[in-house]
Structure 1
Amino acid sequence: MSVPEIIKLDPRDPDCVQLKRVVDASREGEVVGFPTETVYGIGGLMSVPGVEKRLQEIKGRREGKPFAFHIGDWDMIDRLGVVQTPMVRFLMRSFWPGPITLVVKNMTGETIGVRFPRNKVARLLIRESGEPFIATSANQSGLLSPHTAHQVVEQLGSKIRLLIDTGRTEFSHDSTVLDVSGEEPVILRKKAYGTEVEKAVARVKTDQYPKKKILVVCTGNSCRSPMAEGWLKKELELKGLSDEIEVASCGIGARDGLPAASEAEYVMRNRGVDLSCFKSRQCRDSDIWGADVILVMAEHHADSVEELMPGSREKIQCLDVEDPIGLGMMVYEKTINQIEKKIRDIFHKIV
């Protein structure tokens, strides 16, 4: 039996030169094989004429059963024209990237399946190829989904030319499929993260989930943004809005896992806010995409946010608060007073 060329890659640190061979093949219109965290898949660029027909031929699958779109970064959600209701955004924030396929409506009223794999190699392949893939599991129709490259070869042989091999998949079963195209979410297939998805669905059905997310951004996520996050969470709780609005913070130049500045912790303790367990986080594109409102402390933070996620400027509000780091307790008191005043001034606008 002839077999595809197998390209072995380290799942944590893939060889970019070898990966580019597969990227180039996809750009030239080929269907390629690749791993996800759940199963091995096959797919090609959504703009390639006849890609769905080719996938049907490879799998031996009947016409009329649609394939899912696979995306490699958050920008591709907009490229697919997904209708992003508060419920859809909440579930995307909760489970993506991850082993969940969401069935959604797009702007033209079509119902489509979308998957944002957590597997690093899959994301890189799709992102570097430049557009969403139309993809499916790399098995013959009716047979078990493959969890190793060897199982793909056994089922598909040389029906594809290139197959990425990163070893056994993280999960031993398929993705969970959640239909969010209607007013209430419906689990169509309970597999990976099934229990967690059930809990999220229950929150949606009882209307106990955040409809909006506010992100606070500074430089190191140790002074201004933790203070603003803590104060805003308490203010929302006092107004009975803590279940409706989620608040988080991050730093453009932060290191993950560091505590808040001791001065910040002290001034917030005086306001009934405990920062003793706070840990810093570097801002990532998922933070920017998932936020409905972004409060930045300075204009250069807005520039950095825009660089992380082009098109995010319209979500940004600049508070224009200077960094108190290393300047003593009195400056920290002045800083939190400024933050309180400036957020109060725009509170109704952002909430």
Structure 2
Amino acid sequence: MITRLLDPVKDRTAYTEAATLLRAGEVVGMPTETVYGLAANALDGKAVAKIFAAKGRPQDNPLIVHIADQKQMYDLARTVPESVEKLASRFWPGPLTMILPKADCIPDEVSAGLDTVGIRLPSHPVAQELIREAGVPLAAPSANTSGRPSTTTSSHVMEDLGGKIPAILEGGPCTVGVESTVVSLAGDKPRLLRPGGISLEQLREVLGEVEVDRALREKIGDDVRVSAPGMKYRHYAPKAPVTVVCGDPERTAAYITRHAGLDAGIICFSECAFQFEMHERRVIGSSDDVQTQARRIFDALRAFDDTNVREIWAQCPDDKGLGLAVANRLKKAAGFHVINVV
């Protein structure tokens, strides 16, 4: 299969071509503000199954449904509590996914057999236009080979899925760089299932107390059923094993300097980069610039696969604001192999 790159800036018929493929039951790589997604008609179970086949994704890992109009949510969810309206008015369109009781139209392939579904209204104009042109909501996990770092450019998607899918819709580099925040509103209390572009602190400003799922802090067993992507399996991982070092940037840099071999790759803050001139390194921004860290983290993880490094050491931001999402992605990439330096 030849994978075509469709650029709507150069040719507006790109939307029509991508939408036609989606209506015909095919999959298409599409940009969002968070990461690139691999999209299929969310109401067509056979089409959604092609997502899992292309990615090599476990069947019990649920997908997020993307919409272009908030009104579509009422067709996809069985009930919509007041808290949803509050969050939508504040954060939609944007990097927030809400888990709700699913309507009968959602196939089991999307929900992994659960009675809930994740719904999101992305802010990326190309994603919105594609959903409108297709005329159906789109199920879309990250457009990468399952387990690898997520894709934030069309070239990343082509690297992982070229020859496996018919088309990728160009949308430029992703501006957020980590996946959407996932919050469950299907239980008695709101629960954060995955940190992302909307912080835990922002959620609590709207909802009050929000519980934090243990999957954010530790690896959970393979026998546990999860209601959001990114909670269970090894994710975001490059080929070389990763060790994450948490704590004060100066101290973590000193620790890595003492313990990293010459064949190690280093993910570091800009103010510490000079200490790793002898290593293959990727600078993700200053320690207090989590927005830049979020945009660069997946590119940094993916870049080491093209080198000869045998191990990767990573400085980790604290868990405040967007830093929680960056730290979560790093720890997941490391399989929660984390060292805390005090």
- TM-score when scaled to structure 1? 0.54
Return the offset for 1:202.
5.0
Distance 1:3 1:170, change over 3 A: farther
Distance, in Å, in 2 between the alignment partners of 1:77 and 1:202 is 19
Alignment counterpart, residue 180 of structure 1, candidates 180, 185, 198: 185
Alignment counterpart, residue 13 of structure 2, candidates 13, 17, 35: 17
Return the offset for 1:76.
1.3
Return the offset for 1:18.
2.1
Percentage identity across paired residues of the two chains? 33
Return the offset for 1:195.
4.5
Distance, in Å, in 1 between the alignment partners of 2:41 and 2:74 is 16
Query: Which position in structure 1 is the counterpart of 2:125?
Result: 120
Distance, in Å, in 1 between the alignment partners of 2:206 and 2:63 is 24
- Are 1:50 and 2:49 an aligned pair? no
Counterpart AA for 2:32? T
Distance 1:78 1:166, change over 3 A: same
Query: Contact 1:87–1:204 at 8 Å: present in 2 too?
Result: no
Q: 1:311-350: CA deviations, max 9, x gaps? A: xxxxxxxxxxxxxxxxxxxxxxxxxxxxxxxxxxxxxxxx
- TM-score when scaled to structure 2? 0.55
Distance 1:184 1:138, change over 3 A: same
Distance, in Å, in 2 between the alignment partners of 1:48 and 1:115 is 18
Distance, in Å, in 2 between the alignment partners of 1:196 and 1:120 is 27
Alignment counterpart, residue 94 of structure 2, candidates 90, 93, 98: 98
Distance, in Å, in 1 between the alignment partners of 2:207 and 2:26 is 41
Superposition pairs of residues 170-319 of structure 1, within 5 angstroms? 170-200=175-205, 203=208
Query: Which position in structure 2 is the counterpart of 1:7?
Result: 6
Query: Contact 2:178–2:197 at 8 Å: present in 1 too?
Result: yes
Q: Which secondary structure state, in structure 1, belongs to the residue aligned with residue 117 of structure 2?
A: strand
Query: Which position in structure 2 is the counterpart of 1:295?
Result: none
Q: 1:169-194: CA deviations, max 9, x gaps? A: 11121111111111221111112121
Counterpart AA for 2:37? G
Distance, in Å, in 2 between the alignment partners of 1:21 and 1:107 is 29
What are structure 2's unaligned runs of at least 5 residues? 105-113, 211-342
Distance, in Å, in 2 between the alignment partners of 1:17 and 1:202 is 42
Q: Which secondary structure state, in structure 2, belongs to the residue aligned with residue 181 of structure 1?
A: coil
CA RMSD of aligned residues (A): 2.2
Query: Which position in structure 2 is the counterpart of 1:84?
Result: 80
Distance, in Å, in 2 between the alignment partners of 1:184 and 1:201 is 13
Counterpart AA for 2:82? P
Distance, in Å, in 2 between the alignment partners of 1:120 and 1:67 is 21
Q: Which secondary structure state, in structure 1, belongs to the residue aligned with residue 88 of structure 2?
A: helix
Alignment counterpart, residue 62 of structure 1, candidates 58, 62, 67: 58
Query: Which position in structure 1 is the counterpart of 2:319?
Result: none
Query: Contact 1:178–1:188 at 8 Å: present in 2 too?
Result: yes
Return the offset for 1:155.
0.9
Distance, in Å, in 2 between the alignment partners of 1:132 and 1:169 is 21
Distance, in Å, in 1 between the alignment partners of 2:141 and 2:21 is 18
Q: Which secondary structure state, in structure 1, belongs to the residue aligned with residue 169 of structure 2?
A: strand
- Are 1:159 and 2:164 an aligned pair? yes
Query: Which position in structure 2 is the counterpart of 1:340?
Result: none
Distance, in Å, in 2 between the alignment partners of 1:112 and 1:15 is 34
Distance, in Å, in 2 between the alignment partners of 1:81 and 1:60 is 28
Q: 1:78-124: CA deviations, max 9, x gaps? A: 22134111112111222111001111113569211111111111011
- Are 1:41 and 2:5 an aligned pair? no
Q: Which secondary structure state, in structure 2, belongs to the residue aligned with residue 92 of structure 1?
A: helix
Query: Which position in structure 2 is the counterpart of 1:299?
Result: none
Counterpart AA for 1:145? S
Q: Which secondary structure state, in structure 2, belongs to the residue aligned with residue 136 of structure 1?
A: coil
Distance, in Å, in 2 between the alignment partners of 1:21 and 1:133 is 15
Q: 1:24-68: CA deviations, max 9, x gaps? A: 111111111100000000111123341232111111111111111
**Which consecutive aligned stretches of 4+ in structure 1 deviate over 6 angstroms post-superposition?**
none
Query: Contact 1:4–1:161 at 8 Å: present in 2 too?
Result: yes
Counterpart AA for 1:181? A
Query: Contact 2:86–2:206 at 8 Å: present in 1 too?
Result: no
Distance, in Å, in 1 between the alignment partners of 2:201 and 2:27 is 33
Distance 1:82 1:36, change over 3 A: farther
Distance, in Å, in 1 between the alignment partners of 2:103 and 2:56 is 31
Distance, in Å, in 2 between the alignment partners of 1:198 and 1:74 is 19
* Matched residues, number: 202
Distance, in Å, in 2 between the alignment partners of 1:197 and 1:58 is 35
